[in-house]
DNA sequence: CACCAAAGTGTTATGATATAACAAAACATA
DNA sequence: TATGTTTTGTTATATCATAACACTTTGGTG
């Protein structure tokens, strides 16, 4: 919901996210395969967005690095399933922190530590709706990515 | 300010934009060189964002296509000068329609005809500010890009 | 004018991000 | 097990962007 304290128990973030993903996939009849799980786990290893090729680097287990397609396909799955998001302004990806409702998120991205927070910002969504409406525009997707300095980096 | 009527006098958009750019450059002591002018003119040839390589294609005059650097450098200049914007969600560029005040714009982008409108959306900016403030986040840049169907394409 | 420093351009090379296409394997289910 | 569907592996290629360096233009200074 916002920037996590640097000393939080991050292991629980990861295990919680994986557990939720598993449940959601089962509920929707989707196949949460080994690669997909591994990619989501890598995404959750930090609260910073990761580039596809960074994920690739961390994906090699037995010294053999898979082809880019592998990771892009897994990311496509995760995004379709509402388990991850893409940050256009960074060409990077991050695990969704509210996968229960299928949504389009807004992000705050720290230029200093690189971490990103997915925010529930009803007022932003509302303002966007109204602006669009007054231009006679029918909204399909929203990209809202704010960069700056996070609370943890302001000291 | 919003989506132009398809039958508007687009020649005036182009000549106005070039004239304004010239004035602004002179006022700021910047050099509005031939390449920079040409790139801005190409950007303004439509109200749709253009990829850097599309611009390159249109830049070849005597059959010789310049190297990508040429166009990226011109775009960097135009963006620094507040004469053009980059649309992250499309990897594309568009002429700024309000170059007088130096701002960060929000965009409505039509998925059907590809045209984009720069909107002055104070409420969006305000909502972003407030959301960030309540998360203790200090805002530096905003990316707000909304896709959907423009009024001209809704029939 | 002759000089110089700063800004801009041309060019080659390379880095970074993303997708196309097709064969092989795994899976679901009947 | 037979069958069609989904997922994976792999090779190749498309698309977007920057590094580095030599050369040219520009605008000021003596
Ligand atoms: Zn965490
Ligand atoms: Zn930070
Ligand atoms: Zn116009
Ligand atoms: Zn349209």
pLDDT, tens digit, for every residue of A39-63? 999 999 999 999 999 999 998 766 6
Residue A101 pLDDT > 80, yes or no?
no
B133 touches chain A (CB under 8 A): no
For residue A118, the distance in angstroms to the closest alpha carbon of chain B comes to: 11
Cα A118 to ligand 1 centre (Å): 12
Cα–Cα dist A76/A78, whole Å: 5
Q: Between residues A75 and B64, which one has the greater pLDDT?
A: A75
Cα–Cα dist B150/B108, whole Å: 8
SS3 call for B142: strand
Strand partners, A92: A87
Stated in angstroms, how far is A100 CA from C25 C1'? Answer: 32
Proximal ligand: closest to the CA of A149: 2
Task: Tell me which residue of A86, A82, A83, A137 sits closest to A116, measured CA to CA.
Answer: A86
B113 touches chain A (CB under 8 A): no
Please report the sign of the dihedral spanned by the C-alpha atoms of residue A155, residue A4, residue A114, residue B135. Answer: negative
**Chain B CB contacts of A151 below 8 Å:** 135-137
Q: Give the mean pLDDT of B85-110.
A: 92
Strand partners, A118: A107
Kindly report the number of other CB atoms within 10 A of residue B41's CB atom.
16
Stated in angstroms, how far is A84 CA from D5 C1'? Answer: 25
User: How is residue A112 written in tokens?
Assistant: 């200093």
Q: Vertex B67, ends B66 and B71: CA angle to 5°?
A: 85
Question: Residue A62's pLDDT is what?
Answer: 61
Q: Between residues A2 and B138, which one has the greater pLDDT?
A: B138
Q: Between residues A103 and B99, which one has the greater pLDDT?
A: B99
Kindly report the number of other CB atoms within 10 A of residue A13's CB atom.
17
Strands A106-110 and A116-119: antiparallel
Cα–Cα dist A29/A112, whole Å: 40
Cα–Cα dist A103/A26, whole Å: 19
Q: Which nucleotide is nearest to A93 (CA to C1')?
A: C17
Q: In Å, how far from its chain's centre is CA A81?
A: 12
Residue A1 pLDDT > 80, yes or no?
no
Stated in angstroms, how far is A24 CA from D5 C1'? Answer: 22
Residue B3 approaches strand D within 7 Å at CB? no
Residue A145 pLDDT > 80, yes or no?
yes
Cα–Cα dist B29/B16, whole Å: 20
Q: Where do the structural domains in chain A lie, given as residue ranges?
A: 10-153
Assigned CATH topology for domain B10-153 = Arc Repressor Mutant, subunit A (1.10.10)
């Amino acid at each position: 919901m916002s920037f996590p304290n640097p000393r939080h128990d991050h292991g629980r973030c990861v295990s919680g996210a994986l557990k939720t993903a598993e449940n959601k996939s089962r509920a929707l009849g989707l196949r949460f395969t080994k690669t997909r799980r591994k990619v989501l786990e890598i995404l959750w290893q930090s609260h910073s967005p990761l580039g596809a090729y960074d994920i690739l680097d961390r994906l090699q287990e037995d010294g053999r690095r898979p082809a880019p397609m592998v990771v892009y396909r897994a990311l496509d799955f995760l995004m379709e399933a509402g388990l991850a998001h893409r940050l256009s302004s960074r060409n990077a990806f991050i695990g969704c922190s509210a996968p229960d409702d299928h949504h389009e998120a807004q992000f705050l991205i720290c230029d200093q530590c690189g971490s990103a927070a997915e925010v529930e910002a009803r007022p932003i969504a509302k303002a966007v709706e109204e602006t669009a409406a007054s231009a006679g525009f029918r909204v399909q997707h929203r990209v809202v990515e704010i960069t700056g300095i996070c609370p943890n980096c302001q000291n």
